[in-house]
Chain A
Amino acid sequence: MKSAIKLKVNGDDHELLVSPNNTLLEVLREKLGLTGTKQGCDLGACGACTVLVDGESRLSCIMLAVDAVGKEIITIEGIEENGHLDPLQAAFVEKGGLQCGFCTPGMILTARSILNEEARPTEETIKRKMAGNLCRCTGYKKIVEAVMTANEQTGEGA
C-alpha cells in the first residue's frame, strides 16, 4: 500500500506517494527526476548510487525511501553552493577525474562524506574509503588526485 511521505532532498521538501518497497534510488530517479544518482549493480556493491544522508554516505539502492523520512538527503545535483561548484567537483574537472562519468556522482559524494568526517585525510585513507566505488574506465589515479587536490584546498581554507 502506498503512503504519503515527505523527503527533504537538496534543501527542498517533497511530498511523495511511495510504496514501502521503493528504494531511495528509485524515488530520486523516477519520481524526482534526479538522474545524477546512478543505478549500477543495484545490490550495494559498486557505489554508483551513493548519496549523502545527514552528511554521511549511503547506498541509495539498498535503502528504503520510507527510511529516509526526516533526514537531509543530498544528491550530486545539490552539492554546489550558490551556483559555485563544490571544491570536489571543481577538482574533478581540473584534474580530469572522469572518463565516461558514470561513477563520478558516487565518487564525489563519497569523497564529500570522507572530507566531512575528517579534515585532511591521508591519500591512503582516501584510497581505502573510496574502495567501495568502482570505476570501470579504471581512471582511479586521476580520481584520487582530484580528491587530494580538493582535500588540500579545504585544508587551506579551514
Chain B
Amino acid sequence: MRLPKFRYMEPKSIKEASTILLDEPGAKILAGGTDILPNMKHKVELPSVVVNIKKIPELDFIRKDNGVTRIGPLTSLKKIYQNESVKAGLPALASAASSVGSYHHQNMGTIGGNICQQNRCKYFNQSQWWRSARPLCVKAGGEICHVVNREEICYSAYSGDMAPALLALNARIILESKEDSREIPLETFFSGDGKAPLNFKRGEILTEIIVPEGSSRGFSSYLKFANRESIDFPIVGTAFWASTGEKEYRVAFTAVDRRPLRGRDVENFLNGKDLSDEVREEAVSIASKAATPVKTSVYSPSYKRNIMGRLLRVAIDEVMRREG
C-alpha cells in the first residue's frame, strides 16, 4: 500500500510549525506516525503537507515541579510507563501507556499523538476498496453516517487510551500557536464532533500535558477491555481515581462516545462516601448508564455499557483491597 503524495516539512521550532499550519489548511502534524500513516494508507486522511515536529527540540520530557507532573507531547509511551515517578504517583497513566497497541507502537507512539488520534469507526478505518462498496461516510468526506443512517453527522468513537487516564487525573494541556499560548483543561479539548474531534484553533500545536499535584495523592487505575491483549483498541476503557481519605473520586471512559467521557453521575454519587459493597454496586449500575454508545464497532451498545460497569467494579474492588 503506497502512501498518497504530500509535501514534507521539518520545522525546527513551534513558531515555524505553526506558520506552516496557518499557511496550509491541509497540513497535518506527524509525531510517532502510528495513527496518521495507516489512515493515509487507507486514503481517509490526505494531508497536502506532512509536518514532522520531531525536529523541534525540547518537546520530549517528563518533569516534576512542586508535585506537578509536566510531560512533553513527543515523550514516547514507553518512556511514560518506564518513568519511576509516573509509575509510583500516576499508575493510571503508566498502565494506559503500556496498554496502547503493541510494544512497537509504544516505542514509536507519543503521548501527544495518542491524545490527538483520530476517532474510529468500522465504516471509516477500512481500505479504500472496502469502503467503495457503499457511499462515502461523513468522516471520509461523504454525506451520510452509516452507523446511525443520518446525514451530516459523524458518530465515530474516540478510542484513545491516554485521554481517559488523563481525564481521571484532572490533566490540563498547553496549546501554542505562532502568537498565542493557552492552557485549558484536557476535557474541553474534545469537541464531541466525530468528524473533527479536537478543539484546535488554526495553527495550534499541543506542547505540554500537565497533571496537577493533587492527582498523585490518590490511587488511580486504567482498565482496558479489548479483544486481544496486544495490538487492539479498547472495546471499553475505564479510568478511576480515588482519594479515599478525602472521599473524592473521578471516573472516565473511552471508546463509548465521540469523545472521552468523565462519568459525572458516578462521581456525584461516590463523592463524600466511603467505599463499600453496596456503594460499589450502585456505582456500577450508574456507570453502565453513563454513556450511549452506538454501533461503531462489532460490539453492541448494550455490551459496551455492561463492560463500563464491570470495569468500574474491578477498579473499585482494587481500591477497597488496598485499603484493606
Contacts and interface: CB of A to CB of B under 8 A. Distances in A.
5 tightest Cβ-Cβ pairs between the two chains A and B: A132-B102, A131-B230, A20-B8, A21-B3, A129-B103
Interface of A: 1, 19-23, 26, 42-45, 47, 50, 56-59, 62-64, 66-67, 110, 113-114, 128-133
Contacts of B50: 20, 64
Interface of B: 1-8, 30, 33-34, 37-38, 41-42, 50, 52, 54, 101-105, 107-108, 228-231
B52 A132 contact: no
Contact of A132 (B8, B37, B101): B101
A57 B103 contact: yes
Contacts of A64: 3, 8, 30, 33, 37, 50, 52
Contacts of A42: 1, 41
Contacts of A129: 103
A131 B105 CA distance: 11
A56 B3 CA distance: 24
A50 B107 CA distance: 12
B34 A110 contact: no
Contacts of A113: 103, 107
Contact of B108 (A1, A43, A58, A131): A58
16 contacts: A20-B5, A20-B6, A21-B3, A44-B38, A47-B104, A57-B104, A59-B108, A62-B38, A64-B3, A64-B30, A66-B52, A67-B33, A67-B52, A129-B103, A131-B231, A132-B103
B105 A132 contact: yes
Contacts of A63: 33, 37, 108
Per DSSP, are chain A's interface residues mostly helix, strand or loop, or mixed?
A: mixed
A52 B189 CA distance: 35
A44 B32 CA distance: 12
A113 B107 CA distance: 10
Nearest to B2: A21
A57 B107 contact: yes
A20 B54 CA distance: 15
Given A44-B104, A58-B107, 11 more contacts: A20-B5, A21-B2, A43-B1, A43-B42, A57-B104, A62-B37, A62-B108, A67-B30, A110-B103, A114-B103, A131-B230
A47 B102 contact: yes
Contacts of B38: 43-44, 62
A109 B261 CA distance: 38
Contacts of A58: 104, 107-108
A1 B108 CA distance: 26
B107 A67 contact: no
Given A62-B33, A67-B33, A131-B231, A21 B6 contact: yes
B10 to A, nearest CB: 8
A64 B4 CA distance: 12
Contacts of A21: 2-6
A47 B42 CA distance: 18
A67 B3 CA distance: 14
Contacts of A43: 1, 38, 41-42
A44 B105 contact: yes
Contacts of B1: 42-43
A114 B101 CA distance: 16
A38 to B, nearest CB: 14
B321 to A, nearest CB: 22
A137 B61 CA distance: 41
Scoring B6, B54, B102, B107 by chain A CB atoms within 10 A of each residue's CB, the highest score goes to B102
A45 B230 CA distance: 10
A53 to B, nearest CB: 9
A19 B2 CA distance: 11
B260 to A, nearest CB: 23
Contacts of A19: 5
